[in-house]
Homo-oligomer: A and B are copies of this chain.
Amino acid sequence: MTTLLALYRRPEGGDEALATFLRRYHAEHLPLVAATPGLRGTRVQRVEQALGGDTDLVMITAMDFDDRVALDAGLASDAMRQGGRNLRDIAPGLATFLVLEDDPAAGG
């Protein structure tokens, strides 16, 4: 399994800006994610706490694909391209995208 992990930092502008981002993320962005070809699953989680420290992260979304080839095809799709444009509108500079591969030594 190959996972695209999106980590979202807290927007400037306090709780109101955060609420606006989250509302638009659900209303505008997640439907584009859901339309991505090859997507096997999506998990949206809110960051509640950093143990023993602080974090500027507020949300982490994991998007699973069968493998890196499927992820690359998904990234090149119209849905993900629209999703990228949408994010530059609703969360400019707030997202980091990591490509993860299941650790074979850990049994996936």
Binding site for B on A (CB under 8 A): 3-5, 22, 26, 30, 42-53, 55, 57, 59-60, 68, 75, 96-103, 105-106, 108
Contacts and interface: CB of A to CB of B under 8 A. Distances in A.
Chain A binding surface SS class: strand
Nearest to A100: B45
B48 A100 contact: yes
Contacts of A48: 68, 98-101
A105 B96 CA distance: 22
Contacts of A102: 43-46
A108 B47 CA distance: 13
Nearest to A62: B62
Nearest to A3: B45
A47 B98 contact: yes
16 contacts: A4-B51, A22-B105, A30-B106, A42-B106, A43-B102, A43-B108, A44-B105, A46-B101, A47-B98, A47-B99, A48-B68, A48-B98, A51-B75, A51-B99, A53-B96, A59-B103
B5 A60 contact: yes
